[in-house]
Amino acid sequence: MGQSRAEIIAWVAGNVIPHEAALRARLRRMAVAGEEIDDIVQETYLNIARLKSVAHIRDGRGYLFTAARMVMLQRIRRNRIVRIDHLTDTQALALEDDAPGPERHVAARRELARVRRMIEDLPPRCREIFELRRVEGFSQREIAERLDLPEHTIEQQAIRGLKLILKAITTEDRESADPSETRHATLKGTSGNG
Amino acid sequence: MDDDGAARWAIRRDAGPLSPGEQRELDAWLAADERREGALLRAEAALVYIARAPALIDAEDFPAAPEEEAPAPARIARRRFLAGGAVAGAAIAAGVAGVLLMPSGQEFSTTVGEVRRLPLADGSVATVNTASRIAVALEPEQRHITLEEGEAWFQVAHDAHRPFVVDIGNVRVRAIGTAFSVRRNPEGVDILVTEGVVETWTEGQEATRIRIAQGERSFVATGTGAIVAVKAADEIERALAWRDGGLALNGEPLSYAVAELNRYNHRKLVVEDPVLARMPIVGYFRTNEPGDFARAVAPLIGARVEMRSGNMHLVATGS
């Protein structure tokens, strides 16, 4: 049964977005360069965008890591990773979720705290518009009337806010940051890549 | 990553339907680089992710703010678990989590929006749906479960000498090694068998047991003894989508979809218009995101979403 795009978006929001930062952290630990990470993540989303249905996927985090591994292998085959020539199939295959079991399930409370922090970190006007739209459910026009601003300004602020959110989801925040990150960062520094 | 373009289109699409001109512009933007399709999905999903904050508050089983109190039964049940030395993680409706081992002779309940997987000491697993209550008594001769309220799916560990019996009011379901679900409604009891065979009967009428096999479902109406099993393989998988935090609909009326979603959320969906209520809905939705459901469905049935005192009303666009 094919799913509507709205359903797939909702599934990605609940099952993939919360784990993007963990995937990026894992790739950094494999000494993959920053731009490469962006490309791998983007191609992974593209593969998900092309799915007809996600109803059969039970573990979003597991799926994200598997999909990213496939993307990496494809990229190595196509020889698109030039920056890290030592990265072989075997190493790409090692891309898997190394978080301990309980860590894989982002606890609701922690996720809520992270979302709240993302909203709190927005510039004040951006934040106000985001809350009115996302949390209160007002339309763009209603927000424009309430704040006595042109609708175009509301749209610009919303775009600005979303861009900041897109940046925020790439990094694990203070609460959920992987403690092993520091150690691996040092290793990466000495490996001569990046 | 083309965050600029993706964010712009995600916001525009979220604001309302695109005009034909905008749609052509979007198509051209997407066609320029195939990866933009992925970037747009990510941006639109990030918007939904941010909007999940209220749903996550619903899913919380501890107070979000000091003045809010969680419902008393859940708190008692939880305290009992903590006393049992188990590690209690907050299970969110979206993901079935938790590694609790259910002690025998205990009661367990879930709060609204909570779905919990409960491994039992005999190796069986009970997956307990939202707002449900079960009691477990693993006796030497028999494994005995009482479903006091709600719905659960059981994966029964095989043990021919120790039948696994579920009591639902005056209805009994007996299994040896199989998987089945039971749901208790005011109208009656719904039994779905996903693996193997179960036997079912109503109290006092043990002689008229019937067998329900894999891929069959049966409904025992309150106050009647008659039990009939019907083939319903596809329907069963859909009916059990809640195990993955989903609600799968294949043409059920909006009124049914809304009643189902409201089982999982404090923030209720309301449909008063009888014409809208009869609209058939198709799709797979997250049970903990009624807002997404409302926004996804509204344009398809000619409705809009109105917030009234914290609830989401689906109202016909013409009215």
A10/B305 touch (CB, cutoff 8 Å), yes or no? no
Are A143 and A153 in contact by the 8 Å Cβ rule? The answer is: no
Complex-level ipTM beyond the 0.85 threshold: no
pLDDT band at A168 (very low <50, low <70, confident <90, very high): very high
- pLDDT, tens digit, for every residue of B127-178? 999 889 999 998 888 999 999 999 999 988 888 888 999 999 989 999 977 8
pLDDT over 80 (residue A190): no
A134/B50 touch (CB, cutoff 8 Å), yes or no? yes
B7/A134 touch (CB, cutoff 8 Å), yes or no? no
Question: Could you state, in order of their start, the residue ranges of all structural domains in chain B?
Answer: 3-51, 74-238, 245-316
The per-residue pLDDT for B107 is 83
The per-residue pLDDT for B244 is 80
A139/B284 touch (CB, cutoff 8 Å), yes or no? no
A99 in the same domain as A144: no
A111 in the same domain as A95: no
The per-residue pLDDT for B152 is 94
Q: Which of B47, B52, B291 sits opposite A162 (nearest CB)?
A: B47
A74 in the same domain as A17: yes
Residue (of B165, B241, B157, B153) closest to B190 by Cα position: B153
Segment holding B133, helix H or strand E: strand B133-138
The per-residue pLDDT for A138 is 81
The per-residue pLDDT for A92 is 55
Q: Hey, which residues 64-123 in chain B have their CB within 8 Å of chain A?
A: 64, 87, 89-92, 94-95, 97, 99
pLDDT over 90 (residue B253): no
Radius of gyration of chain A (CA): 19
Q: What is the mean pLDDT of residues A89-94?
A: 55
pLDDT over 70 (residue B88): no
A59 vs A16: CA distance, rounded Å: 9
Architecture of the CATH domain B74-238: Sandwich (2.60)
The per-residue pLDDT for B198 is 93
The per-residue pLDDT for B66 is 32
A82 in the same domain as A138: no
The per-residue pLDDT for A97 is 64
Burial degree of B208 (CB within 10 A; 0-12, 13-18, 19+)? exposed
B30 vs B250: CA distance, rounded Å: 31
Mean pLDDT of chain B: 78
Q: Hey, which residues 42-81 in chain A have their CB within 8 Å of chain B?
A: 42-50, 53, 55, 58
Task: Return the sign of the alpha-carbon dihedral for residues B253, B259, B264, B266.
Answer: positive
pLDDT over 90 (residue B258): yes
A48 in the same domain as A122: no
Are B151 and B182 in contact by the 8 Å Cβ rule? The answer is: yes
B19 DSSP 8-state letter = P
3-state per-residue secondary structure call for B90-103 = CCECCECECCCCEC
pLDDT over 70 (residue B41): yes
The per-residue pLDDT for A99 is 60
B145 vs B168: CA distance, rounded Å: 9
Phi, psi angles (nearest 5°) of residue B152: -150, 150
Q: What is the mean pLDDT of residues A96-122?
A: 69
**Beta partners for B164?**
B143, B175
- pLDDT, tens digit, for every residue of B197-242? 999 988 888 888 889 988 888 888 877 767 778 887 777 878 888 8
Residue (of A61, A162, A178, A177) closest to A118 by Cα position: A162
Please count the other Cβ atoms lying within 10 Å of the Cβ belonging to residue B267. 17
Say how many domains are in chain A. 2
A154 in the same domain as A82: no
The per-residue pLDDT for A83 is 44
A118 in the same domain as A138: yes
Residue A169, domain extent? 107-175
The per-residue pLDDT for B105 is 66
Beta-carbon contacts of B37 under 8 Å, excluding residues fewer than 6 positions away, are A46, A49, A50, B30
CATH number at residue A127: 1.10.10.10
**Beta partners for B317?**
none
CATH T-level assignment (fold) for domain B245-316: Phage tail protein beta-alpha-beta fold (3.55.50)
The 3-state DSSP class for residue B171 equals strand
Distance from CA of B312 to the nearest CA of A (A): 9
A170 in the same domain as A120: yes
- pLDDT, tens digit, for every residue of B53-86? 554 444 333 333 333 333 333 333 332 333 222 2
If one compares A54 and B148, the residue with the highest pLDDT of the two is: B148
Q: What is the mean pLDDT of residues B278-293?
A: 81
Q: Which chain B residues contact residue A15 at CB under 8 A?
A: 94-95
Q: Quote the percentage of chain A above a pLDDT of 70.
A: 67
Q: Quote the percentage of chain B above a pLDDT of 90.
A: 30
Burial degree of A14 (CB within 10 A; 0-12, 13-18, 19+)? buried
- pLDDT, tens digit, for every residue of A56-78? 676 788 888 888 887 887 777 66
The per-residue pLDDT for A155 is 93
A8 vs B94: CA distance, rounded Å: 14
Q: Hey, which residues 113-142 in chain A have their CB within 8 Å of chain B?
A: 115-116, 118-119, 130, 133-137, 139-140
B216 vs B219: CA distance, rounded Å: 10
Q: Which chain B residues contact residue A140 at CB under 8 A?
A: 15-16
A116 in the same domain as A76: no
A67 in the same domain as A5: yes
A188 in the same domain as A99: yes
The per-residue pLDDT for A17 is 92
Q: What is the mean pLDDT of residues A108-127?
A: 82
A76 vs A99: CA distance, rounded Å: 25
If one compares B117 and B56, the residue with the highest pLDDT of the two is: B117
A131 in the same domain as A89: no
A134/B42 touch (CB, cutoff 8 Å), yes or no? no
B181 vs B216: CA distance, rounded Å: 11
Q: What is the mean pLDDT of residues A113-142?
A: 84
